[in-house]
Amino acid sequence: MNRIVIAGGGIAGLTAALSLHAVGRTDVMVVEAAPEIQPVGAGLNIMPNAVRELAALGLYEELAAVSVPTSELRYYHSSGSLVWQEPRGTGAGYRWPQLSIHRGQLQDVLSRAVRERLGRAAVVSGALVDDFTELPGAQLRVAIRDRASGATTDIGAEILIGADGIRSAVRSAMYPGEGEPPWNGMLVWRGVSWMPADRVGTFMFIAGNNRQKAVVYPMTIPAAPGEKVLVNWALAMPAEQDGAPDRSDWNRPVPTAKFRHHYEGWVFDGVDVGEVIDAAEAAFEYPMVDREPLVRWTFGGATLIGDAAHAMYPIGSNGATQSIIDGRALAHAMAAHEDPARALLAYEAERRPPMTELQRSNRRLGPEVVINMAHERAPEGFADIHDVIPRSELETIARSYAVAGAFDPATVNQGSPYDVGAVGAVGALRAVRAVR
């Protein structure tokens, strides 16, 4: 019997597998829909609280080699006026940095570690979890479908972890009438571009007004003087009434000409958004969607993590960050509680309330609300933001969001609450007994 089945081989699922291994669980199967886990996608930021957890898993050196430590975040009004800037990572007093990284690079580091530590057979590719059924004796029957043949196989499991994203089949089995993720009417265009380092800057910025936004940051450092760097960019604005997207197509390639003109003249301290777009080899369009907060993540031996549990708008660099924390928290709860059902409930009790608040905060634009505030009070721009928004108000917004996401320096620097220690040793012994 496969004691623990993880639906989804993304960031949440792979981190959960590594975290379970760290507390002594080797009876883990990761079921991934893609034929093989490949380094695809665009960029993301891993906040210091998640970097701390990845470091605890022994992955920091590998990640640092393929990422950039983000030292500063800036918010701009679309007129070019600076709204807010703050140090990030170690420059802000954290013990760990904030890392800007290509999603594919992060996933590659995680997937290689899973195969090295749990064995290549621990990852089953080209298959997906379709459904599950609770059985007597605290057991589950999990239906796994082969994508190529369509054949379905039922396997037994003690625990099922739904890490299968915003369109989670595990979540659908729990909430069969939920339907499609709600769309807020915004479109997101994403891509990556190779740019001369001196045309990008060394900071991450978010710019815009009350209608549209742009996010730009480098993800690599020059390999040699004069070499280019890889830049992530994401743009958002309302869809035209006659251009509502087909939300069944979540990764639609589109020509940059579709949106490039909306960002003409968007230049922020020397970084030209239009120039960054022009350097892209491809662009992809997404509807901006999330999921409604749930009143319950856990049903018997099945629970949810990552986007399956709390998909949120792409604001505040929290998607991947909180997925990593989920995986660590779940494994820690499994080590602390001998009864798997109690462990899952303890995990949910810790993680669901703050994630619900973070989902709601992102719907209110999180820390990016300062851009909208600046536009509402001074739509043509301004010379000094403090003539528009008092410094104390800006500081309160930034601090409150960091506390809500548990990535404020005081919380992060206390160290990982998920270190194995004595609890992990007990959990590891229980795991060995369970396998036997």
The three state secondary structure string of 266-299 is: CEECCEEHHHHHHCECCCEEEEEECCCCCCCCCE
Tokens (6 digits) for 243: 């251009």
> First-to-last CA distance in the chain?
11
Give the side-chain half-sphere CA count within 13 A for 262.
19
Q: Looking at residue 58, what DSSP letter applies? A: T
Tokens (6 digits) for 195: 């740019």
**CA–CA distance from 295 to each of 160, 299, 342, 348, 353 (Å)?**
19, 12, 17, 10, 9
Confidence band for 37, pLDDT divided at 50, 70 and 90: low
CATH no. of 183-289: 3.30.9.30
d(CA 402, CA 47): 10
| Average pLDDT over all residues of the chain | 91
Angle in degrees, CA 275, 280, 282, rounded to 5: 145
With both helix axes pointing from N to C terminus, report the angle between 319-336 and 48-56 in degrees, rounded to the nearest 10: 50
User: Do residues 165 and 308 make contact, with C-beta atoms less than 8 angstroms apart?
Assistant: yes
Which pLDDT belongs to residue 137?
76
Which pLDDT belongs to residue 332?
98
Write the DSSP string, 99-166.
Answer: EEEEHHHHHHHHHHHHHHHH-GGGEEESEEEEEEEEETTTEEEEEEEETTT--EEEEEESEEEE---T
Give the pLDDT mean for 1-8: 85
Q: Looking at residue 191, what DSSP letter applies? A: E
Residue 382 main-chain phi, psi, to 5 deg:
-165, 160
User: Do residues 231 and 217 make contact, with C-beta atoms less than 8 angstroms apart?
Assistant: yes
Percentage, residues of the chain above pLDDT 70:
92
Which pLDDT belongs to residue 202?
87
Using a 10 angstrom Cβ sphere, with 0-12 exposed, 13-18 middle and 19 or more buried, the burial of residue 268 is: buried
Which pLDDT belongs to residue 2?
54
pLDDT (tens digit per residue) in 114-133? 999 999 999 999 999 999 99
Nearest to 293 by CA among 223, 236, 248, 354: 354
3-class DSSP state for residue 4? Answer: strand
Confidence check: pLDDT of 241 > 90: no
pLDDT (tens digit per residue) in 175-200? 999 999 999 999 999 999 999 999 99
Confidence band for 317, pLDDT divided at 50, 70 and 90: confident
Stronger pLDDT, 396 or 405, i.e. the higher one: 396
Which pLDDT belongs to residue 316?
87
Which pLDDT belongs to residue 422?
39
**CATH number 3.40.640.10 is the correct assignment for the domain at 4-42+103-179+294-365+419-435:** no
User: Do residues 27 and 435 make contact, with C-beta atoms less than 8 angstroms apart?
Assistant: yes
Confidence band for 251, pLDDT divided at 50, 70 and 90: confident
Confidence check: pLDDT of 427 > 90: no
Residue 277 main-chain phi, psi, to 5 deg:
-60, -45
3-class DSSP state for residue 214? Answer: strand
Confidence band for 430, pLDDT divided at 50, 70 and 90: very low
d(CA 406, CA 100): 19
Which secondary-structure segment (H or E) carries 232?
strand 228-238
User: Do residues 56 and 417 make contact, with C-beta atoms less than 8 angstroms apart?
Assistant: no
Q: Looking at residue 46, what DSSP letter applies? A: E
Within 8 A by CB and 6+ apart from 225, the residues are: none
Nearest to 389 by CA among 363, 369, 365: 369
* Helix, strand, coil tally for the chain in percent (to 5): 40, 25, 35
Domains in the chain: boundaries: 4-42+103-179+294-365+419-435, 183-289
pLDDT (tens digit per residue) in 122-172? 999 999 999 999 988 779 999 999 999 999 999 999 999 999 999 999 999
Give the pLDDT mean for 323-340: 97
d(CA 410, CA 369): 24
d(CA 84, CA 64): 27
